[in-house]
A and B are shown apart, each in its own frame.
Chain A
Amino acid sequence: DQQVKQNSPSLSVQEGRISILNCDYTNSMFDYFLWYKKYPAEGPTFLISISSIKDKNEDGRFTVFLNKSAKHLSLHIVPSQPGDSAVYFCAASGNNDMRFGAGTRLTVKP
């Protein structure tokens, strides 16, 4: 059962533009959400998180938005840089559980 879905397997954007990565979840018990970034041959690294009591969290070029009623979150990267090219995983946790999406491969073209 895919409780966390990232429906876009890939995304390509131009350097300097905005990248928007989307994630949907089905389990209403999830109350903490995270984004991880993964480069080839490395394990995922934590990027940014948001608690269900908030609807937005910002860290530099990265902003995560949470829409609880729609069970949807998104990661905005502004401006996008070539070094942002990686696979991005959305994760949702709650009730002693942690689930990841399938990932979105972001390519930022110079």
Chain B
Amino acid sequence: KAGVTQTPRYLIKTRGQQVTLSCSPISGHRSVSWYQQTPGQGLQFLFEYFSETQRNKGNFPGRFSGRQFSNSRSEMNVSTLELGDSALYLCASSLVAVAGNEQFFGPGTRLTVL
């Protein structure tokens, strides 16, 4: 069974640009969550999608948005990039809801904003 895949693995952008990251969950998993990892801050929850609906959202500005398609694949978009958005962005999938269930993580997308 293929794991969670994320593309691209590395990305370099400049301030003010926008970026779209993609995540393909494990086959059959309907929940996809996104996290931002920065040194010292751990994994900060961005949002969770389940059956194409956003179920929960973390404390991030509206520049961070996402969506989920009917095949459970998900995309995350960040507009008007800032230097502080440089981080590892992790996607995780689970069979049903994120709460109370083990999540399977992808390798992440390393975003660098110059």
Contacts and interface: CB of A to CB of B under 8 A. Distances in A.
A89 B100 contact: no
A102 B103 CA distance: 17
Interface of A: 1, 6, 9, 31-32, 34, 36, 41-46, 49, 89, 91, 93-103
B92 interface: yes
B100 A31 contact: yes
A41 B45 CA distance: 19
A46 B103 contact: yes
A33 to B, nearest CB: 10
Contact of B42 (A41, A93, A101): A101
Interface of B: 4, 33, 35, 40-45, 48, 55-56, 59, 90, 92, 97-108
A93 B55 CA distance: 14
Contacts, number: 64
B7 to A, nearest CB: 14
Contacts of A45: 105
B42 A6 contact: yes
A102 B45 contact: no
Contact of B98 (A41, A49, A98): A98
Given A99-B45, A102-B41, A103-B42, A44 B90 contact: yes
A102 B40 contact: yes
